[in-house]
Amino acid sequence: WMGRHAARWGVEFRERMTRGYFTLDYLPEPLRLQDAPGVRYVPLRYIPYNGRAVVPDWLLTPPERPRVCLTLGTSATERQGGYSVPVKDILESLADLDAEIVATLPDAERAHLGTLPPNVRPIGFTPLEPLARTCSAVINHGGAGTVLTMLDHGVPQVIVPRMQFDEKFMAAGVERAGAALVLGARSAVGGREVREAVIRVLSDPALRRGAAGARDLMHALPAPSAFVDTLVEEVRAARRTKDSPHLSGTPGHTP
């Protein structure tokens, strides 16, 4: 399939295409996943984007008490057989906290939960970026989009990663940066464990400093607009090497 794409630009497939000349990485070095041997990483700032959506009025008003978001991703219910943590147990464990719990859950999941504590606001799909602006903490599954959007706003996290994909590695990086508490590595996670972690995240200034530090590192990375010049220089440099006749391209095009 790479050969077909290469042919569109008038070039031949070469083995180097399978690994590329560099890898764009949204993660600052302290948060980065394990480096792959022989791969050169080029930093690029993460820009949150949730597509077209209507932002509800209540989300445009600063909360009167700390707002804690519970978001466990859409893939868990759509393609992975459900959540890996007991959602109702977690929400009930947070009932006595002086905090607003915003639980982003699909309609079918909300229908199964029954009556929820008064401090819980169950909602359907909501753009995460404007929600992150108003949060004091987040409980999540370690998905890259959620983790990075919350870090972009300096929100400390409680992460209960699913173990099938890269979530555990993402969670470990955020924990190393001092911006998260990670649960579930050695035992099952229920409401009690999440409650204790949320209380600590809301009260521990070290975690807030860690999240703010991670945010600052992310904001220091080159924005996509600034990366255009870098990309042009990388292509020019590759064309000058003996290993890059496939980058010669057709006149007027930059592959």
Q: Out of 41-45, 76-80, 182-186, 195-199, give the one with best mean pLDDT.
A: 195-199
Query: CA separation (Å) from 109 to 105, 156, 164, 245, 247?
Result: 6, 26, 21, 53, 49
Whether residue 254 is predicted with pLDDT greater than 70 in this model: the reply is no
Clarify whether residues 99 and 209 are in a common domain.
yes
Helix (H) or strand (E) holding 139: strand 137-140
Clarify whether residues 32 and 110 are in a common domain.
no
| b/e code 138-170 from CB counts within 10 Å (16+ = b) | bbbbbbebbbbbbbbbbbbbbbbbbeeeebbeb
Residue 70 lies in a domain: no
**The pLDDT value given to residue 242:** 53
Residue 54 lies in a domain: no
**The pLDDT value given to residue 70:** 97
DSSP 15: G
**The pLDDT value given to residue 73:** 74
What is the distance, to the nearest Å, from the Cα of residue 181 to the centroid of all Cα atoms in its chain? 15
Clarify whether residues 92 and 213 are in a common domain.
yes
Tokens of 211: 């999240």
**The pLDDT value given to residue 245:** 44
Clarify whether residues 171 and 103 are in a common domain.
yes
Q: How confident is the model at residue 18 (pLDDT cuts 50, 70, 90)?
A: confident
Q: How confident is the model at residue 139 (pLDDT cuts 50, 70, 90)?
A: very high
Integer Cα distance of 255 and 246 in angstroms: 9
115-131 tens-digit pLDDT:
999 999 999 888 999 99
Clarify whether residues 94 and 165 are in a common domain.
yes
34-88 tens-digit pLDDT:
777 878 888 999 999 988 888 999 999 999 999 999 999 765 444 455 666 889 9
Clarify whether residues 131 and 193 are in a common domain.
yes
**The pLDDT value given to residue 82:** 60
One-letter amino acid for residue 93 of the chain: S
> Using only C-alpha atoms, what is the Rg of the chain?
21
Whether residue 196 is predicted with pLDDT greater than 90 in this model: the reply is yes
Clarify whether residues 103 and 194 are in a common domain.
yes
Residue 135 lies in a domain: yes
Integer Cα distance of 135 and 131 in angstroms: 7
Nearest to 90, CA basis, from 19, 140, 50: 140
Q: Are strands 120-123 and 157-159 parallel, antiparallel or unpaired?
A: unpaired
Integer Cα distance of 130 and 59 in angstroms: 7
Clarify whether residues 208 and 235 are in a common domain.
no
Tokens of 133: 């602006």
**The pLDDT value given to residue 74:** 62
202-236 tens-digit pLDDT:
999 999 999 999 999 999 999 999 888 888 888 88
Torsion 118-120-125-129 (CA) sign: positive
85-110 tens-digit pLDDT:
889 999 999 999 999 999 999 888 88
Q: By residue range, what is the domain housing residue 122?
A: 88-219
DSSP-H helix ranges across the chain: 2-8, 75-78, 87-93, 107-113, 128-133, 144-152, 167-176, 191-203, 205-219, 224-239
Minimum mean pLDDT range among 25-34, 71-80, 154-163, 200-209: 71-80
Burial of 8 (0-12, 13-18, 19+ CB in 10 A): exposed
- Residues 6 or more apart in contact with residue 253 via CB below 8 angstroms: 9, 10
Whether residue 190 is predicted with pLDDT greater than 50 in this model: the reply is yes
**The pLDDT value given to residue 54:** 87
Higher per-residue confidence, 34 vs 24 = 24
